[in-house]
Amino acid sequence: MLVFLWRRLLYTLPIMLGVALVCFALVHLAPGDPLVSILPPDASAELQAKLKELYGFNRSYPEQFVSWVWRALQGDLGTSIASNRPVFSEVMMAVGNTLRLAMVATLIGFLFGCLFGFVAGYFQNSWLDKLASLTSVLGVSVPHYWLGMVLVIVFSSILMWLPPGGAGPGGSGDWAWDWEHFKHMLLPAITMSVIPMGIISRTLRALVGDILAQEFIVGLRAKGLTDFGIFLHVVKNAAPTALAVMGLQLGYLLGGSILIETVFSWPGTGFLLNSAIFQRDLPLLQGTILVLAMFFVFLNLIVDVVQTLLDPRISRS
C-alpha cells in the first residue's frame, strides 16, 4: 500500500510541473504586451523598460519560468497588475468562497444523484427510471448559466424568496454559516448541483443495474437476506465508483463554475478569472489557473487513494 502511495505521489510531480508550464505558456501566448493595461498610451520608452524590469518581463522565457516556479513554491504568485495586491492572497480568498459553494453543490448533487441513480437502477425501464433518466439528461445538457438566470427570475424576481447574487451582507470577506449567508448560497449551489447530479445518477444507474445482475446477488437472496440487506451490499459495491465520480465532479466545479459565479456575482475563482481576463491582468490569470489546476491534480490523487482504500480489488500495480 505504501509503495502504491509513493508511486502515485511521484507520478503527480511531473504532471504538476507540466501544469505549471502550461499556465506559464498560456500567458505568454497572449498577443500584445502584458503591461499594456497599466501603461498610459503615451508612456515613454524609459518607463516601459522600467516596468518591464519590475515585473521581470525583460528576461528570457526559461529564466522567467524558473523564477516564477521558484517563487510560486514559496507561496508568492506575484502582484496583480490591476489591484496591486499579492495574487496569492486574492486567489486563496476566492478559492475559499468557491470551495464552500462547490462543496455544498456537490453534496446536493450527490444526494439527489444517488437517489435518482438507485431508483433508476432498481426499477430499470419503469416510468420512475425514465423520469430519473430524463432529469439527469436535462441536467447535463442545459446550459448552466441559463438555468441560473431562470432561477434568478423565478425565485428572486417573481417570488422574491432569495437574493439574486453576492455572497452575503458583509461582502466577500466574511462568511458565516447562518441563514442570512446561506440564503445567498442556495441559488448558485442548486444551479451548480445539477451537473454532478446528472452525471452521478447516470453512472449509478448503470452500476446498480450491473451489480444487481451479478451472481452474488442471487446467492445472497438464496441465503435468505432481506431486500434491505441486499441493498446494503449494492451500496457497498457501488460506493467506490460513486465517490470517485463525486470527487472528480468537485474538481470540475472548482474550475468550471466560472459562468455560474458570474451570473450570481459569487466572489469566487470564476469571478476572479472573469475580472483577470477582462482587465488583462496576466499574473492574476496565471496564478488563478495554476492554483485551480493544482487543486484538481490533488483531488485526482485523493480520489485515487480513497478509491484504492475502499475497494481492495483495484490492483495496486
- Which residues, listed in sequence order, are joined to residue 79 by a DSSP beta bridge? 86
Choice between 241 and 300, CB closer to other proteins: 300
- By CB under 8 A, tell whether 296 contacts other proteins: yes
* Phi/psi at 167 (5° precision): -115, 15
65 contacts 21 by C-beta, under 8 angstroms = yes
- By CB under 8 A, tell whether 293 contacts other proteins: yes
Choice between 29 and 159, CB closer to other proteins: 29
Alpha carbon distance 198, 266 (integer Å):
23
Choice between 39 and 248, CB closer to other proteins: 248
102 contacts 256 by C-beta, under 8 angstroms = no
C-alpha cell of 256?
468550471
- By CB under 8 A, tell whether 27 contacts other proteins: yes
Using the contact rule CB under 8 A, the part of the chain among 171-179, 226-234, 237-245, 292-300 near other proteins is 292-300
Alpha carbon distance 270, 287 (integer Å):
13
- Which residues, listed in sequence order, are joined to residue 298 by a DSSP beta bridge? none
Of these, 121, 255, 268, 283, which contacts other proteins (CB under 8 A)?
255
Alpha carbon distance 213, 9 (integer Å):
37
CB of 300 to other proteins, least distance (A): 8
Binding to other proteins, residues 217-236 (CB under 8 A):
none
Using the contact rule CB under 8 A, the part of the chain among 49-57, 72-80, 182-190, 288-296 near other proteins is 288-296
Choice between 40 and 143, CB closer to other proteins: 143
Of these, 22, 138, 153, 218, which contacts other proteins (CB under 8 A)?
22
For the window 28-47, what string marks contact with other proteins as x by the rule CB under 8 A? -xxxx---------------
Q: Please give the size of the binding site for other proteins, defined by CB under 8 A.
A: 35
CA angle 181, 185, 191 (to 5 degrees): 170
Please provide the distance, in angstroms rounded to a whole number, between the alpha carbons at the two ends of the chain: 10
Alpha carbon distance 211, 187 (integer Å):
35
Contacts of 308 (CB under 8 A, 6+ apart): 1, 4, 314, 316
Choice between 13 and 111, CB closer to other proteins: 13
Using the contact rule CB under 8 A, the part of the chain among 60-68, 108-116, 163-171, 272-280 near other proteins is 272-280
Of these, 186, 230, 277, 310, which contacts other proteins (CB under 8 A)?
277
Using the contact rule CB under 8 A, the part of the chain among 17-25, 167-175, 178-186, 303-311 near other proteins is 17-25
For the window 112-141, what string marks contact with other proteins as x by the rule CB under 8 A? -----------------------------x
Which segments of 142-281 does DSSP mark as H helices, in order? 144-151, 179-212, 215-222, 227-256, 258-263, 269-278
Choice between 68 and 118, CB closer to other proteins: 68
Alpha carbon distance 190, 168 (integer Å):
17
* Phi/psi at 30 (5° precision): -60, 135
Choice between 27 and 39, CB closer to other proteins: 27
Alpha carbon distance 102, 94 (integer Å):
12
Amino acid at position 241, single letter: T
CB of 98 to other proteins, least distance (A): 11
- By CB under 8 A, tell whether 254 contacts other proteins: yes
Binding site for other proteins (CB under 8 A): 14-15, 18-19, 21-22, 26-27, 29-32, 141, 143, 145, 251-252, 254-256, 258-259, 262, 273-274, 276-278, 285, 289, 292-293, 296-297, 300
